[in-house]
Amino acid sequence: MTVENKPVNHAFASDNAKILQLMIHSLYSNKEIFLRELVSNAADASDKLRFKALSNADLYEGEGELRVRVSCDKENNTLTISDNGIGMNLEEVIEHLGTIAKSGTAEFFSQLSGDQANDSQLIGQFGVGFYSSFIVADKVTVRTRKAGDAASQGTEWVSAGEGNFTTTNIEKSNRGTDIILHLKEDESEFADDWRLKSIVTKYSDHISVSVEMLTPEVPAVEAVAEVKDDEDKVTTYGVEARDAVPATWEAINKATALWTREKSDISDEEYKEFYKHVSHDFGDPLLWEHNKVEGKTEYTSLLYLPSKAPFDMHNREKQHGLKLYVQRVFIMDDAEQFMPTYLRFVKGLLDSNDLPLNVSREILQDNKVTQAIRKGCTKRVLKMLEKLGKKDAEKYQGFWDEFGQVLKEGPAEDMANKEQVAGLLRFASTNEDSSVQNVSLASYIERMKEGQEKVYYVVADSFAAAKNSPHLEVFRKKGIEVLLMSDRIDEWLVSHLSEFDGKQLQSVTRGGLDLGDMDDAETKKAQEKLEKEFDTVVTRIKETLKGKVKDVKLSQRLTDSPACIVADEDDMSSQMAKLMASVGQDVPETLPIFEINGEHDLVKHVADEQDDDKFSQWVEVLFEQAMLAERGSLKDPASFVGRLNKLMLSLTK
């Protein structure tokens, strides 16, 4: 049967050419990593075949010894990486090699700064391993056939890394994938056996698949007789005949699964390189933990915390998880069942002795072994972070700046570890007067004033709005620290975190303010007196704002501002209402409580106003100002501006 071999042209997605050019320039200073990426992908292909063959041994096609081979041709300036793994069919070639990234490309570009060092880190997080070939090659040819397909169903993919690529149906007798790099003229160093061997042993010594290179053929040697002169001195040394030794493929890596070795035998450098293999990140990990658990459940875990967050970390729908092995046999990538979603940044692998080899995602879902491993791995990661926070505050701050917002999802998701996760959280506060989130709940409690029973916080749209909130005035006056929260997740967080270490968390914008023993008798007496004086004024304001507010009260929290609004204890806060509206949820209409500052000159002026119309206008303006300060917008800003203008004009007469 003849194979139709007409090339078919395809265009890359519009952003692919940009990414390729950006990557080539940003990663050029560390160009040898392309070989690590290609060997890593080839090893993954072998792992996937090994797993598929558990249920269908015919996929081996009589060749069960899996390996990756690296070879070069100096004369033609090419480098070839071959594997006999799972291979690809035409549809998979177009899907995996025709699109650098399936989603998030625009977001990726928005984060680029033009700084080569920073952009190269982003490229690593974006995951474009195969395309690093174009750093050293001006053309790449991929020849592949999926295991189990007929020899006539091979596919050849060719691209110069520009706007398009071609695919051709080819005959390929052996399964797997060959990647041929047509090296650029000035990259001939990668067509040298010694150079290639040094790169492979540097980056890929730890992978469990054998990486082989061809040892050169040793020619045959004919026997030469020894010759002596008249004085019996040797003038020509004899040589024994030797048969020719053909070129052979020889393993150049240890080919031992790194996680199965003793920790004491593994160097930090090996751990770091293995992280790059499992995560396809170009940077080093922040820290890692390697453990063998024995007992009721037996498994080995190797868990890494990255140094930098991937660009799409906030996408909860993106597949995440650990590589899963069962008795050293690769089962699946992204086994999300072993790590809660709020720890989705954790990379690494698990090797279980208790799960069946034919395990599926569905079986993992409701499996006691899975639950036990998940519990153990979660606690392990939380302890790693706890330890880091205590030993190295600067390093932990770096972690928090990258992953803090994701960790804030923890208290809502993980009830069993809520207190431990809460201890890892960091916030800005009035104590530091800085937007840097470096205050833990534990350190806040250590600084609490005598008689203080609650942890006070404010949630706002921005750090500036939180810092300048009128609700903080009495707290600043009394020197009481308040946590300043302005991340989108914060309102969701505090709705699931009501206390820490026995101390209740209390919003300064909600309900009645009771400072308990921190209010002296004189202050309480003055407040009672003021409430009596303003009793009639409060009643008039209630009448004016009827249907717009739930209640009107004399404020205990204001010292500089004339008025503010607060949410009733059981009502939804302004920030939660905004959060729900932003995700398309129906938000129930709730009326705020309007608080006035009886000590403020403007409020005293309004209280003395006998003209009902002017009184109503002043009250409306004060109320809308308070709404604007708390919620950031008004339903009818034009009416507010009109009232304000009218009042300002009246003051000029």
DSSP H helices in 548-611: 574-582, 601-608
Contacts of residue 369, defined as CB under 8 A and 6 or more positions apart, other chains included, come to: 297, 352, 354, 355
CA pair distance 401, 424, nearest whole angstrom: 12
| Residue 222 included in any domain | no
Q: Quick check: 149 and 92 in contact, CB under 8 A? A: no
**CATH value at residue 128:** 3.30.565.10
pLDDT of amino acid 221: 79
178 and 33, same structural domain?
yes
How distant, in Å, are the alpha carbons of 285, 587, 600, 613, 617 from that of 646?
Answer: 62, 34, 22, 12, 9
Beta-bridge partners for 593: 551, 566
Q: Judge contact between 81 and 69, C-beta under 8 A.
A: yes
Q: Are 13 and 106 members of one domain?
A: yes
* Residue 178, domain member (yes or no): yes
Q: Are residues 188 and 273 in the same domain?
A: no
Three-state secondary-structure class, residue 404:
helix
Note the helical H segments in 127-284.
193-203, 268-279
Tell how strand 347-352 and strand 322-326 pair up.
Answer: parallel
Separation between Cα atoms, residue 614 and residue 562, nearest integer Å:
17
Q: Among all chains, which residue has been given the structure tokens 């153990």?
A: 376
Q: With respect to residue 412, please indicate whether it lies within any of the assigned structural domains.
A: no
In angstroms, the CA 259 to CA 303 distance is: 10
Q: Are 26 and 109 in contact (CB under 8 A)?
A: no
Residue 28's pLDDT is 57
Which of 367, 401, 435 terminates a domain? The answer is 401
Q: Are residues 491 and 593 in the same domain?
A: no
Please check whether residues 367 and 271 belong to one and the same domain: yes
List 484's β-bridge partners, or say none: 428, 458
Domain boundary among 215, 239, 274: 215
Do the domain assignments include residue 462? yes
3 state SS of 568? coil
- pLDDT, position 340: 93
pLDDT for the residue 75 = 94
pLDDT at 123: 44
Whether 227 maps to a domain, the answer reads: no
- Is 359 in the same domain as 436? no
Is 76 in the same domain as 183? Answer: yes
Question: What per-residue confidence (pLDDT) applies to 205?
Answer: 78
Q: Where are the beta strands (DSSP E) in 392-436?
A: 428-429
SS3 296: coil
Query: Is there a single domain that holds both residue 197 and residue 66?
Result: yes
Distance CA 581, CA 565 (A): 20
Is the sign of the CA dihedral 628, 632, 635, 637 positive or negative? positive
Flag whether 488 is in a domain.
yes
Say which CATH number the domain at 497 has.
3.40.50.11260
Domain count, the chain: 4
Structural contact between residues 475 and 456, judged by C-beta atoms closer than 8 angstroms: yes
Domain boundary among 462, 481, 508: 508
CA geometry: angle at 343 spanning 341 and 345, to 5°?
Answer: 105
Any domain includes 485: yes
Stretches where the chain sits below pLDDT 50 are 1, 101-105, 108, 116-117, 119-127
Query: Strand 78-83 to strand 137-145: parallel, antiparallel, or no bridges (unpaired)?
Result: unpaired
- CATH number for the domain including 640? 1.20.120.790
Name the helix (H) or strand (E) containing 378: helix 368-391
Structural domain span for residue 643: 521-569+586-652
Residues 471 and 353 in one domain: no
Euclidean distance between CA atoms 224 and 331, whole angstroms: 58
Q: What does the DSSP 8-state code read for residue 608?
A: H
* H or E segment to which residue 516 belongs: none
Measured from the Cβ of residue 17, the count of other Cβ atoms closer than 10 Å reads 16
Same domain, 267 and 193: no
The CATH number assigned to the domain holding 329 equals: 3.30.230.80
Q: Please report whether residue 515 resides in a domain.
A: no
Q: Are residues 354 and 443 in the same domain?
A: no
| pLDDT for res 101 | 47
Residues 365 and 437 in one domain: no
Q: Report the candidate in 95, 317, 68 with the shortest Cα–Cα distance to residue 203.
A: 68
Spatial CB neighbours of 114, under 8 Å, sequence gap ≥ 6: none
